[in-house]
Chain A
Amino acid sequence: MSEPALIPILSDEEVREIEEECAHLPDRKSAAIDAMMIVQRHRGWVSDESLGAIAHLLGMSAENLDSIATFYNLIFRKPVGRHVVMVCDSVSCYVMGADSLRKRIEAHLGISLGQTTGDGRFTLLPIVCLGACDKAPTMMIGDELIENVDAEQLDDIFGRFE
């Protein structure tokens, strides 16, 4: 594939948002993380094709960009479900029963950490402290922080996310 053909992989909207970040930074490479997060917001994850296109747009190698992508835990290099479920496994939630909550969630969704439900609805991941330790245990579904998670209410909680 010739290089310029890589760019059309990104939508005009994505390119516009990435250029807006570049405009506020001393050099284009500095937008690497922002650019991947922008594409991920549009597509759910960063595929090899997306990665190559972003690298091209920013004037860096795909290998270099991938070494950045894989450093960060919120950049997904594999497809994820429609809703990413992140269960806090840090110490305050642990004290308040996060281990058994996680097991209940795994049983409820029928998947283990790192997996996606068969219908593509949920991907389950561990996350470190979500900054709501006084309302432990906590989890996040998509953008939504859920506090004082009650293992008896999982039907209701997950039912809200199609």
Chain B
Amino acid sequence: MASGERPMIGVIDDVGGLVDLAAYESHEGYAGARQALSAMTPSEVIALVKDANLRGRGGAGFPTGLKWSFVPQGDASDGGLKYLVCNGDEMEPGTFKDRYLLEYNPHLLVEGMIIGAYAIGAAQGYVFLRGEYHEPYRQLQKAIDDAKAKGYLGQSIFGSGFDFDLRIHRSAGRYICGEETALLNALEGKRAQPRTKPPFPPASGAWGRPTIVNNVETFCNVPSILRNGVEWYQELGLGDDAGTKLYGVSGRVNKPGLWELPIGTPIREIIDVHAGGMQDGYKLRGLLPGGASTDFLVEQHFDLAMDYGTIQAAGSRMGTGTMILMDDSICPVDMCRNLEHFFAQESCGFCTPCREGLPWVERLLTDIEEGRGKPGDLELLDRNAQFIGGVTNTFCLHAPGAIEPLASALEYFREDFEEHIRTGECRYGTNR
């Protein structure tokens, strides 16, 4: 890597665990926010983040500086209220990166949000936090309290005249809350159904005000950009993308875990070097590169670089960057049944292809897995996958995301599906 730098989690290893305010400050903590608020204008901060080429780490990879620039600058005529929201919902199966940041380096998020709030002119921020994240909640709340006591949150931060208050909203659960417009409804105390777009949140978001929603890891990239500059940040990445990325591996490897690596690190290096390779007796057959809603990658892809463009060109998405491995003891049909069960259960129920289609797909997969598959079932699955996966057929991206692993499994592991239907048996003996 550029110089082995790990601006997000390196300090956690340095201090041997939770980074409290004192430890954070002794590692240049809050220097980025101080720099932004005392020496730069909001538009300069936005330009810097744009030039750094930071892309959203929540899954879609949208350029962060560009998103920030969509918010009307200055005080709007009607009072100027704007909101900055952190998406800490993290319910994508197979994803465990935001929890680690929140639990062990919470001041990094607070600092990233102070900078973001200054850039867009938001006086109020919310962290939308998954309800099951009890320990992250305790650590983040303590970080917010400590930052407030020091004057890093509240009135005239660093004597700049800029005020910013930050509060945590603890979610009551449901995967769809992670979709940013559904999240805004949840924040407003409503059912978390996605909203019509446009208007997009930067124009009209929380309580109808201009709002920016970014992922936890996205905000955690910001402080070091302010401290070290654009060139430094870009050199951290190996390919077209800039910075570092939290990569994770779960499944039958020797050392499952999470690492901060240059963005663009090859898949095989992540699995073999960092995750210690496959456990004895298990062979890697396929993987979901960035959470449950990404397409399978197989052998032919394992030498690819984990960056947005490369993984997209291979027909999948880098998503959250935390990969789930399917070894040769796992039945692809049954794994798809597990995945589609999740997505069917988590549909918000608003549109028909998602509400009716996903449970239908789940039932078909269960039938095939349990030996009740019929000729024609695969074609039915193909048609469903195409219909549910059509991005214009549903109101939000839940349904298309749900279908990505299945559509790719039907392509790469088709003989497994066919064998189940032909023989009425599952050679893996799973789900029995």
Please, which residues of chain A bring their CB within 8 A of the CB of B169? 34
Please, which residues of chain B bring their CB within 8 A of the CB of A99? 430-431
Q: Which residue of A lies closest to B165 (CB)?
A: A24
The minimal Cβ–Cβ distance linking A110 to chain B, given in whole angstroms, is 22
B251 at the interface (CB under 8 A from A): yes
Interface residues of A in 71-100 (CB under 8 A from B): 71-75, 86, 89-92, 94-96, 99
Whether A128 and B324, one on each chain, are in contact in the complex, defined by CB atoms closer than 8 angstroms, is no
Given contacts A37-B170, A37-B172, A92-B250, contact A131 B90 (CB under 8 A): yes
Interface residues of B in 253-295 (CB under 8 A from A): 256-258, 288, 292
A124 at the interface (CB under 8 A from B): no
Q: Which residue of B lies closest to A75 (CB)?
A: B172
B414 at the interface (CB under 8 A from A): no
- Distance between Cα atoms of A31 and B131 in the complex (Å): 15
Q: Which residue of B lies closest to A129 (CB)?
A: B93
- Distance between Cα atoms of A35 and B237 in the complex (Å): 44
Interface locus among A6-14, A114-122, A132-140, A149-157: A132-140
B32 at the interface (CB under 8 A from A): no
- Distance between Cα atoms of A99 and B428 in the complex (Å): 14
Whether B324 and A95, one on each chain, are in contact in the complex, defined by CB atoms closer than 8 angstroms, is yes
Whether B346 and A128, one on each chain, are in contact in the complex, defined by CB atoms closer than 8 angstroms, is yes
Q: Which residue of A lies closest to B339 (CB)?
A: A91
A26 at the interface (CB under 8 A from B): yes
Interface size class of A (residues with CB under 8 A): 35 or more
Interface residues of B in 167-185 (CB under 8 A from A): 167, 169-175
The residue from A71, A74, A86, A91 contacting B338, defined by CB atoms under 8 A apart = A91
- Distance between Cα atoms of A96 and B322 in the complex (Å): 16
B56 at the interface (CB under 8 A from A): no
Q: Which residue of A lies closest to B327 (CB)?
A: A95
Whether A134 and B170, one on each chain, are in contact in the complex, defined by CB atoms closer than 8 angstroms, is no
- Distance between Cα atoms of A74 and B339 in the complex (Å): 21
The minimal Cβ–Cβ distance linking A17 to chain B, given in whole angstroms, is 13
Whether A133 and B174, one on each chain, are in contact in the complex, defined by CB atoms closer than 8 angstroms, is no
Whether A133 and B322, one on each chain, are in contact in the complex, defined by CB atoms closer than 8 angstroms, is yes
B374 at the interface (CB under 8 A from A): no
Interface 0/1 of B83-123, CB less than 8 Å to A: 00000001111111011000000000000000000000000
The minimal Cβ–Cβ distance linking B385 to chain A, given in whole angstroms, is 18
Whether B135 and A145, one on each chain, are in contact in the complex, defined by CB atoms closer than 8 angstroms, is yes
Please, which residues of chain A bring their CB within 8 A of the CB of B358? none
Whether A132 and B170, one on each chain, are in contact in the complex, defined by CB atoms closer than 8 angstroms, is no
Please, which residues of chain B bring their CB within 8 A of the CB of A31? 189
Interface residues of A in 20-78 (CB under 8 A from B): 24-26, 29-34, 36-37, 67-68, 71-75
Whether A72 and B172, one on each chain, are in contact in the complex, defined by CB atoms closer than 8 angstroms, is yes
A105 at the interface (CB under 8 A from B): no
B330 at the interface (CB under 8 A from A): yes
- Distance between Cα atoms of A143 and B96 in the complex (Å): 18
Q: Which residue of B lies closest to A71 (CB)?
A: B191
Please, which residues of chain A bring their CB within 8 A of the CB of B251? 92, 95-96
Whether A71 and B189, one on each chain, are in contact in the complex, defined by CB atoms closer than 8 angstroms, is no
Given contacts A75-B172, A134-B249, contact A91 B91 (CB under 8 A): no
Whether A134 and B257, one on each chain, are in contact in the complex, defined by CB atoms closer than 8 angstroms, is yes
A residues sitting closer than 8 Å to B (CB atoms) are: 24-26, 29-34, 36-37, 67-68, 71-75, 86, 89-92, 94-96, 99, 127-136, 140, 143-145
13 contacts across the A-B interface (CB closer than 8 A) = A37-B170, A75-B172, A86-B132, A91-B94, A91-B335, A92-B93, A131-B132, A131-B133, A133-B96, A133-B248, A134-B96, A135-B256, A136-B256
Contacts beyond the supplied A37-B170, A71-B174, A134-B249: 11 A-B pairs with Cβ under 8 Å: A74-B173, A90-B93, A96-B250, A129-B91, A130-B132, A131-B95, A133-B94, A133-B95, A133-B248, A143-B134, A145-B132
9 closest residue pairs by CB, A with B: A72-B172, A90-B93, A32-B189, A133-B250, A74-B173, A92-B250, A134-B256, A131-B99, A129-B93
